[in-house]
Amino acid sequence: MLRQSSMILPIRAHGPGLYDFTEKACAFVAESGIEEGILTVFCRHTSASLVIQENAAPAARRDLEAFFKRIAPEGGQYEHDDEGPDDMPAHLRSALTQTQLSIPVRGGKPVLGTWQGIFLFEHRRNSPEREIALHIIGE
């Protein structure tokens, strides 16, 4: 019978960058006991975001971080800087990536491809603990 489950996953980032939480998301799916369904991952912030990216090569992640620093740089022509020079770039990098991802679940696991990992993309230097809302529905 169809059912659902949800939780808030806290993640502590240590400065800007990509933080892989694929295993934690998979553990939530496993604990739900749901074999087939749909998993949703939602970031409750506007200065941190989500991306699904290459899980193998650290150089690819460094390039990704460098790219977003170039297209949404600090020291840009921003009116809003209440929380410092990394404030507005954080919002822009969040808008350009994802706040939410939904992934089908089959055989008790998200159907991620071989090279796909789920990452929190932290954009602030000094950020509070981040909260990721997880939800699954299925059977």
Q: Does 25 bind a copy of itself (CB under 8 A)?
A: no
Q: Please select the residue that binds a copy of itself; options are 13, 29, 103, 120, rule is CB under 8 A.
A: 103
Binding of residue 125 to a copy of itself (CB under 8 A)? no
Check residue 109 for interaction with a copy of itself (CB under 8 A): no
How many C-beta atoms lie closer than 10 Å to residue 73's C-beta? 12
Neighbouring C-alpha atoms within 13 Å toward the C-beta of 68: 26
Among 78, 86, 108, 109, binds a copy of itself (CB under 8 A): 78
Near a copy of itself by CB under 8 A: residue from 38, 74, 86, 109: 38
Contact window for a copy of itself (CB under 8 A) among 9-17, 23-31, 106-114: 106-114
Site stretch for a copy of itself (CB under 8 A), options 9-17, 21-29, 48-56: 48-56
Q: Check binding of 116 to a copy of itself (CB under 8 A).
A: yes
Options 9-17, 25-33, 62-70: segment touching a copy of itself (CB under 8 A): 62-70
Backbone angles phi, psi at 27, to 5 degrees: -65, -40
Residue 105 CB burial class (10 angstroms; 0-12, 13-18, ≥19): buried
In terms of DSSP bridges, do strands 116-122 and 100-106 run parallel, antiparallel, or are they unpaired? unpaired
C-alpha separations of 78 from 46, 75, 90 in Å: 16, 8, 12
> Between residues 32 and 97, which has the closer beta carbon with respect to a copy of itself?
97
Which letter does DSSP use for residue 47 in this model?
A: S
